[in-house]
Amino acid sequence: MSLDEPREDEVLVRIVASGTCHTDMAARDQQTGPTPFPIVLGHEGSGIVEKVGAGVTELKPGDHVVLTFGFCGECYTCQQGKPTYCENFPGLNFGGSRLDGSHSHHDHHHDVFDNFFSQSSFATYAIANKRNAIKVSEKAPLELLGPLGCGIQTGAGAVINSLKVSPGKTIVISGAGAVGLAALLAAKACSAGKIVMVDINEDRLEFSKELGATHIINSRNVDVIEALKEISPKGFDFGFDTTGRNDLINNTLANLKSLGQMGIVGVATKPLEVEMNSYVLKGIKLLGIVEGDSVPTEFIPQMVEMYLNGQFPFDKLIKKYKFEDINQAIEDSESGKTIKPVILIGEYKN
């Protein structure tokens, strides 16, 4: 298989590692719309810029980059500084080609679909756009940084950018997967007061305590509404749901204070059903959040900085796998054995 030279606004990146994220599996299973096959998936790449297109001044060969979601930079929402809601998001991330329908991967025998999240990072080399290849500090371990481009950014960004959790505020997080645990680490970094983790997996709940959860609730064993009331009788400032489950979302909403905010990132397969009537009079806000409302050129370097300062130890969520063990990594992610697998793809020396 061959790969194109980078176009004017593109970069060629030698991939060092790539995280795996549920969206890879969702695309495999046709849950993100019709996925054309064969396709190169992978959308949490980290690597080193090898070549840049003629119009790229922001990056140069040798730069360490994290690859994030694709956005156009030109539509109404991009112009508002909100690239995670780009009007071209579906085409640039799930289309299986560039927006103009062309591919960067070629095979003599058949079409190969690519440009997944404008990167297709389960590969030794990737073509990305200059907008979604984000330069990061060379002091940080490059092979760990890919998940900052999607899963970790989604949880941390929701807490820091969307909900803007400040010191002493209280938050309930449902779902102790990579996104929920990244939210927990971010809440701790923001010096939140009470941080409650809700899940059904006892090991994950214990682990969230190690990461800084002040309280844990196993929703399989207890009445969540009562348990939350006991922890904070006056209610919570924030809720954050990564599960898309109606019962968990409603349990948290029922325990929010007036003017509380609830962030939702879990894309549910069932319609979301919320008894909004009683929340209207309390001024409660329900926020749909994509990719943690991240402006990647600002937020990804910010997370790297927080990691280097010891305030955001997201590496605790990661387990590394060799490239040939990618199927095992996916299996371990789906079974819940591993929180965030990272596939080591290319050599690099720090």
DSSP string, 262-321: EEE----SSPP---THHHHTTT-EEEE-SGGG--HHHHHHHHHHHHHTTS--GGGGEEEE
Strands 215-218 and 133-135: unpaired
Is 156 near Zn ion (CB under 5 A)?
no
Which residue in 3, 41, 136, 150 binds Zn ion (CB under 5 A)? 150
H helix or E strand, kind and range, residue 236? strand 236-241
Q: Which stretch binds Zn ion (CB under 5 A): 17-25, 51-59, 160-168, 241-249?
A: 17-25
Closest CB 43 distance from Zn ion, rounded Å: 6
Which residue in 25, 26, 75, 225 binds Zn ion (CB under 5 A)? 75
Strands 2-3 and 105-106: antiparallel
State which of positions 301-330 bind Zn ion (CB under 5 A): none
Is 256 near Zn ion (CB under 5 A)?
no
Closest CB 127 distance from Zn ion, rounded Å: 19
Among candidates 273, 283, 269, 268, which has minimal Cα distance to 251?
273
Residue with smaller CB distance to Zn ion, 163 or 178: 178
Is 23 near Zn ion (CB under 5 A)?
yes
Answer for the pair 329, 343: CB distance below 8 angstroms, yes or no: yes
Answer for the pair 120, 94: CB distance below 8 angstroms, yes or no: no
Is 25 near Zn ion (CB under 5 A)?
no
Q: Which residues contact 147 (CB under 8 A, 6 or more apart)?
A: 19, 21, 44, 153, 178, 314, 317, 318, 340, 342
Q: In this structure, what are the phi and psi dihedrals at residue 38, rounded to the nearest 5 degrees? A: -75, 145
Q: Which stretch binds Zn ion (CB under 5 A): 144-152, 200-208, 215-223, 236-244?
A: 144-152
Residue with smaller CB distance to Zn ion, 133 or 172: 133
Closest CB 71 distance from Zn ion, rounded Å: 5
Residue with smaller CB distance to Zn ion, 72 or 171: 72
Per DSSP, the three-state class of 92 is: helix
Residue with smaller CB distance to Zn ion, 12 or 152: 152
H helix or E strand, kind and range, residue 134? strand 133-135
Is 78 near Zn ion (CB under 5 A)?
yes
Helices (H), 101-214: 151-157, 178-189, 202-211
Please count the other Cβ atoms lying within 10 Å of the Cβ belonging to residue 253: 22
Report d(CA 145, CA 41) in Å as an integer. 18
Closest CB 349 distance from Zn ion, rounded Å: 28
Closest CB 281 distance from Zn ion, rounded Å: 36
Closest CB 75 distance from Zn ion, rounded Å: 3
Closest CB 309 distance from Zn ion, rounded Å: 25
Answer for the pair 158, 292: CB distance below 8 angstroms, yes or no: yes
Q: Which stretch binds Zn ion (CB under 5 A): 21-29, 156-164, 171-179, 248-256?
A: 21-29
Is 21 near Zn ion (CB under 5 A)?
yes
Which residue in 11, 56, 86, 345 binds Zn ion (CB under 5 A)? 86
Closest CB 21 distance from Zn ion, rounded Å: 3
Size of the site for Zn ion (CB under 5 A): 8
Residue with smaller CB distance to Zn ion, 250 or 333: 333
Sheet with 171-174, strands from edge to edge, namely 215-218, 195-199, 171-174, 236-241, 256-264, 285-288
Among candidates 297, 343, 323, which has minimal Cα distance to 78?
297
Which residue in 11, 13, 17, 72 binds Zn ion (CB under 5 A)? 72
Residue with smaller CB distance to Zn ion, 85 or 348: 85
Residue with smaller CB distance to Zn ion, 216 or 329: 329
List of residues contacting Zn ion (CB under 5 A): 21, 23, 71-72, 75, 78, 86, 150
